[in-house]
Amino acid sequence: MSFPLKLLLAIVVWLVFYLLTFNGCHEALCHACDEAPQEITESTDTIPAADPDYPLYFKWSDPEAYIGTGVEAFLRKQAAEGDSQQLLEITGLYFEGEKTAAGSENLGLARAREVARLFDGLLDSTRLQLRARQVEAPEDATSAPFEGALFEWVAPKAQNSVEQLDDRVAIRFPTGSADRVYAPEVDAFLAELAERLRSSGQRLRITGHTDNTGSAEKNLSLGLARAEAVKQFLVKAGVSASQIATDSKGDAQPVASNATGEGRYQNRRVEVRIEPN
């Protein structure tokens, strides 16, 4: 075969190869264009927010009242349950080990005040009564939201000398005195308590408390004197001294605001609690 013929044949083969290759690439390119562009998304990996099963909740060492689902209906329900002669008592709960709220007597009262603000427009502030109570913390309280307030419609409080709470009884004391308020209900309660302790052998813890009048050191001593006075009454009534432990919190755990005379009266107390076996 002559050289010109060989050259022509080579050119024909190259053209055929080129056309086939170009067509394949063109089809692949068109197919890629027909596909929908893939959306570029940013990663949104975050720690999931807490989703508690209650409309109002709190967090460890934090006085703020956090709002959950259905809070408006919850507040309206609380506001509607009382009658015109009653007060809505809001008790802020707090736990041992939590930090004290800045500028507040304790975290329980701070939480009660935060909750009270939520009733603005639903109840006049004069119909709200704020209390605080230290209770045992849930196991996961430091890491999970928890309920930190109790609600109860009550009659305006008289100066009750004995008050029955969920897990303890409070006995009131006069200002600056370790002598309990002398009232028939106090003597009746202590006599019944002594009989129970004699027959059951249960152990009792008596904790003394004061208002914020005077120094912290003096109040700690006064609180202990109040606890010891109640212990001595029970020992004289036949209870073994080994069944009774006493301590004092002084003015560190008020149940009401010390800004009023009524609040200070509520804070001057001993709390009597039967310990679990």
Q: What is the pLDDT of residue 2?
A: 60
What is the distance in angstroms between the CA of the first residue and the CA of the last residue of the chain?
116
**Measured between alpha carbons, how far is residue 90 from residues 41, 83, 96, 202 in Å?**
47, 16, 20, 32
264, 242 in Cβ contact below 8 A? Answer: no
The Cβ of residue 113 has, within 10 Å, a number of other Cβ atoms equal to 19
Per-residue pLDDT band at 25 (split at 50, 70, 90): very low
Compute the distance between CA of residue 240 and CA of residue 201 in angstroms, rounded to an integer.
9
Question: What tens digit of pLDDT does each residue of 54-81 get?
Answer: 899 999 999 999 999 899 999 999 999 9
Mean pLDDT, residues 32-40 taken together: 41
Compute the distance between CA of residue 261 and CA of residue 83 in angstroms, rounded to an integer.
25
Q: Which residue has the higher pLDDT, 50 or 47?
A: 50
Angle at 265 between CA 157 and CA 180, to 5 degrees: 110
Question: What tens digit of pLDDT does each residue of 101-146 get?
Answer: 776 678 999 999 999 999 999 998 888 989 999 999 999 999 999 9
Question: What tens digit of pLDDT does each residue of 232-269 get?
Answer: 999 999 999 999 999 999 999 999 999 888 889 999 99
Show the tokens assigned to 78.
Answer: 């609380």
**Are both 56-154 and 162-274 of the same fold?**
yes
Q: Is 54 exposed, middle or buried (0-12, 13-18, 19+ CB in 10 A)?
A: middle
Overall CATH class of domain 162-274: alpha beta
Compute the distance between CA of residue 60 and CA of residue 137 in angstroms, rounded to an integer.
10
Q: The whole model's pTM is what?
A: 0.66
Homologous superfamily (CATH) for 56-154? OmpA-like domain (3.30.1330.60)
Question: What tens digit of pLDDT does each residue of 263-272 get?
Answer: 899 999 999 9
Rounded mean pLDDT of the chain? 83
Residue spans of the domains in the chain: they are 56-154, 162-274
Mean pLDDT, residues 168-185 taken together: 88
Query: Given a cut of 60, is residue 13 above it in pLDDT?
Result: no
